A = this chain, B = another copy of it.
Amino acid sequence: MTLETVATNRSHGGTQGVYRHASTATCTPMEFSVFVPDHAPGTHLPVVWYLSGLTCTQANVTEKGEFRAACAEHGLIFVAPDTSPRGDGVPDDPEGAYDFGLGAGFYLDATRAPFDRHYRMKTYLEDELPGVIAKHFPADMARQSIMGHSMGGHGALTFGLRNPGRFRAVSAFSPIVAPSQVPWGEKAFSGYLGDDRTAWGEHDACAMIEAGARVDEILVDQGTADGFLAEQLKPELLADACAKAGIDLTLRMQEGYDHSYFFISSFMADHLAWHAKRLKA
């Protein structure tokens, strides 16, 4: 398990790094970024996972996310993976669309050819990358939390619901909460999983909650000027599911904010403070 350092930069009283390794899950090289605040020798810090949205690599949040000041303040490691496998032989959307294939792995293991060979982001992120982080960084893997944006909000919610004992906090920015019911999810799930909708429910936060999956609480920020709000995001479906399930959802509709990093960065420090409180409880 060799880890290649692509770049490191000192920032906000810590080290922002970009790393590359050969993934056994995706059978490709994978890049991710990690911020580690300065810390006393021998100490281990809680880990916040950030899953990015459609079209993104690790670079978007690493450059625009404004997370480092808060991570340094609270003593949190921040891990930002890529959103799909990439490289030679990795199939893409047949028409090169932004919402399937490269940059659009949807945080699941594909079962349909030709995507089933490389598109295994669930196994990569649930089973493989945590081991890499534990081995190479001063990470306290008993204290993890997860957040994400849009498709990555979908990832954070579904990973959190599937692993309630692993993640002490789950939050999202403008998440896809019910992919089975919206165009982005219908296209992705058809392509990666096939047309049998019973398999879709395992990767659909609202369906998972209806089927009994539970976390104690969820924090969601959603901009009211988000162009994807009505067609793709539908936070009211998550609100309904959480209300019925007794999950304590804090859904904050942020007036005038859109779907961009100008929105995410505005509330990143809030989310990290909320995570820190739960990671250190």
Contacts and interface: CB of A to CB of B under 8 A. Distances in A.
Interface stretch (A108-116, A214-222, A261-269): A261-269
B262 A9 contact: yes
Interface of A is mostly: mixed
Nearest to A260: B9
A66 interface: yes
A271 to B, nearest CB: 14
Contact of A263 (B11, B223, B262): B11
A210 interface: no
Query: Within the oligomer, what is the number of copies of this chain?
Result: 2
Interface in A15-47: 16
Contact count band on A:
20 to 34
A234 to B, nearest CB: 21
B63 A66 contact: no
A60 to B, nearest CB: 10
Given A63-B63, A66-B66, 17 more contacts: A9-B260, A10-B223, A10-B256, A10-B257, A10-B258, A10-B262, A11-B257, A11-B262, A11-B263, A12-B265, A63-B261, A64-B64, A66-B265, A68-B265, A68-B266, A69-B266, A69-B269
12 contacts: A9-B260, A10-B223, A10-B257, A11-B263, A11-B265, A11-B266, A12-B265, A12-B266, A66-B66, A66-B265, A68-B266, A69-B266
